[in-house]
Amino acid sequence: MELDQNVLRLIPQVDLLMREPSMEHAAARYGRERVLHAARAQLNSLRAALLEGSTSTVPAAEELCETVCSRLEREEKPSLRRVLNATGVALHTNLGRAPLAEAAVKAVAAAAEGYCNLEYDLERGTRGSRNSLLEPLLCELCGCEAAMAVNNNAAALLLALSVLSPGKKIPVSRGELVEIGDSFRLPDIMAQSGGILSEVGTTNKTRLRDYEEVLQSGDAGILLKVHTSNYRITGFTESVGIPELAGLARTYGVPLLVDLGSGALLEETKYPFTGEPTVPQTLRDGANLVCFSADKLLGGPQAGILLGDRRLISWMCKSPLARALRIDKLSLAALEATLLLYRDPANARNCIPALRMLNATGGELREKGGRLLALLQNECVSAAFSLLPQKRPVGGGSAPGQELDSYAVGVVPVGMSVAELENRLRHAAVPIIARISDGRLLLDVSTLEEPDFGLVVQQTTQILDGKRS
């Protein structure tokens, strides 16, 4: 159908649109140039839609202005937003992994609102090192000679391999060539470092002599052990422990680097799962260097921590790559505040959100879920609610295959599909990220903080009952 050219003439001129009261109000809020740009973009979109035939009418000026203002309001919202995690996965990589402790949040705010002694020695009045702010605390907690922090664990591994094994072989078990997430793989990091990957053993079985065959050539720069924190190989398997590898490394005069991934800082008995080697024990077992993430089991901000022998850490601190990978002041402030909580392990388990969530028992979560259930049943009439036992993973590539007890409030909406409810909760003012199972939307209380229950109830009720806040 051919477009009536008279319809195009109905599109108002942008100057006339800008005189509308709502647009003048928008100009006062967002600035005239920004509103003018948005108005032109909207009119151009309308013209294109008319020409291609996807619409045949021109909205009234008031409707056009409303569309422009809605567009401006959407653009005003930050892309990075707070969400409520109702999935039950405490270390949810897509949701930012570990939420920070209150002390860490305050430390970030204090470092952000003014100047700080990031690289200034207050005692001497001279230039200082940001690494010196964290190193004593890490040495105290982990029992090592030296330590440093960079911006994530992949950076820590890259730095260590770049300094210690450029142009040299890096023997590592074939069963430990992990993919760390988002399609990044250990062999790619090793190649970037300039080291030469030397696979030893097989996928399921690696013995001490497999490593030794490479070390005997004399052209290995480092011995690498990678904890497979995001998967497990079970059945007909064999691997070499850290004490045995440490002895082999000493014999051939190369350092042993252990990539722990998740970085458990407490003793193993303090966690509600098994199989995660701890940082202090790995050092006691003889590792020369250990690297791990700070935003997983440690419960801090995104960062990578390297610690171990003073001589090796000193080499890495002097590398030009260390500057490119260095940690920023906000992450450093959050990391220090988090580490300070570890001086009292009981305090760490209570005050660090990730540890508190992971250590919550099934009985505690049943009572917590009952409280959310009662609130929803009292406020919302357009759904059936129930309290259901659940199993939850740890997340963040930690303790693969192990699940913890939890409880979730199941929601079956009336007059709306479960998929639509999930979608609308995801688009709420404060998005609620939930999951669907067996025809129900599940709100797992293990990762929901109780002070947020009111917001969960308010937004769910508004969607289901059509109530407005």
Q: Whats the size of the chain, residue-wise?
A: 469
The mean per-residue pLDDT over the stretch 70-74 comes to 89
Q: Are 445 and 368 in contact (CB under 8 A)?
A: yes
Residue 176 has pLDDT above 60, yes or no: yes
Q: What is the DSSP-derived secondary structure letter of residue 437?
A: E
Residue 401: the pLDDT is: 79
The mean per-residue pLDDT over the stretch 446-467 comes to 93
- CA dist 50 and 7 (Å) reads 8
Residue 126: the pLDDT is: 95
Residue 469 has pLDDT above 60, yes or no: no
Q: Are 270 and 345 in contact (CB under 8 A)?
A: yes
Which strand ranges, in their side-by-side order, compose the sheet holding 398-413?
383-395, 398-413, 440-444, 435-437
The mean per-residue pLDDT over the stretch 198-222 comes to 89
Token readout for 248 is 């082999």
Residue 234 has pLDDT above 70, yes or no: no
Residue 456 has pLDDT above 90, yes or no: yes
Residue 3 has pLDDT above 70, yes or no: no
Q: Which residues of 361-393 are buried (b: 16+ CB within 10 A; e: fewer)?
A: eeeebeebbeebbebbeebbebbebebbebebb
Token readout for 109 is 């705010």
Residue 50: the pLDDT is: 87
Helix (H, G, I), strand (E, B) or coil at 216: coil
Which range among 187-191, 303-307, 403-407 shows the weakest confidence by mean pLDDT?
187-191
Residue 279 has pLDDT above 50, yes or no: yes
Residue bearing tokens 């202005």: 65
Residue 130 has pLDDT above 60, yes or no: yes
Please indicate whether residue 223 or residue 232 has the higher confidence score (pLDDT): 223
The mean per-residue pLDDT over the stretch 158-166 comes to 95
pLDDT in tens, 73-101: 888 888 899 999 999 999 999 999 999 99
The mean per-residue pLDDT over the stretch 160-172 comes to 94
Residue 233 has pLDDT above 70, yes or no: no
The mean per-residue pLDDT over the stretch 341-351 comes to 95
Q: Are 166 and 194 in contact (CB under 8 A)?
A: yes
Q: Please report the domains of the chain, with CATH numbers, ordered by start residue.
A: 5-76 (no CATH), 84-91+359-465 (3.90.1150.180), 99-351 (3.40.640.10)
Residue bearing tokens 């002041």: 329
Residue 54: the pLDDT is: 85
Residue 230: the pLDDT is: 59
The mean per-residue pLDDT over the stretch 191-201 comes to 89
**Average pLDDT across the chain, whole number:** 92
Beta carbons within 10 angstroms of residue 323's beta carbon? 9
Residue 319 has pLDDT above 90, yes or no: yes
pLDDT band for position 1 (cuts 50, 70, 90) = very low
Q: Are 294 and 302 in contact (CB under 8 A)?
A: yes
Q: How many CA atoms lie within 13 A of 181 on its CB side?
A: 15
Residue 232: the pLDDT is: 64
Please name which of 347, 364, 340, 367 lies closest in space to residue 270, comparing C-alpha atoms: 347
Residue 267 has pLDDT above 80, yes or no: yes
Residue 44: the pLDDT is: 92
Residue 4 has pLDDT above 70, yes or no: no
Residue 320: the pLDDT is: 94
pLDDT band for position 468 (cuts 50, 70, 90) = very low
| pTM score of the predicted model | 0.88
pLDDT in tens, 11-67: 899 998 999 999 999 999 999 999 999 999 999 999 998 888 888 888 999 999 999
Residue 184 has pLDDT above 90, yes or no: no
Residue 231 has pLDDT above 90, yes or no: no
Please indicate whether residue 6 or residue 121 has the higher confidence score (pLDDT): 121
pLDDT in tens, 399-433: 877 899 999 999 999 999 999 999 999 999 999 99
Q: What percent of the chain has pLDDT over 70?
A: 96
Q: What percent of the chain has pLDDT over 90?
A: 74
Token readout for 29 is 């809020």
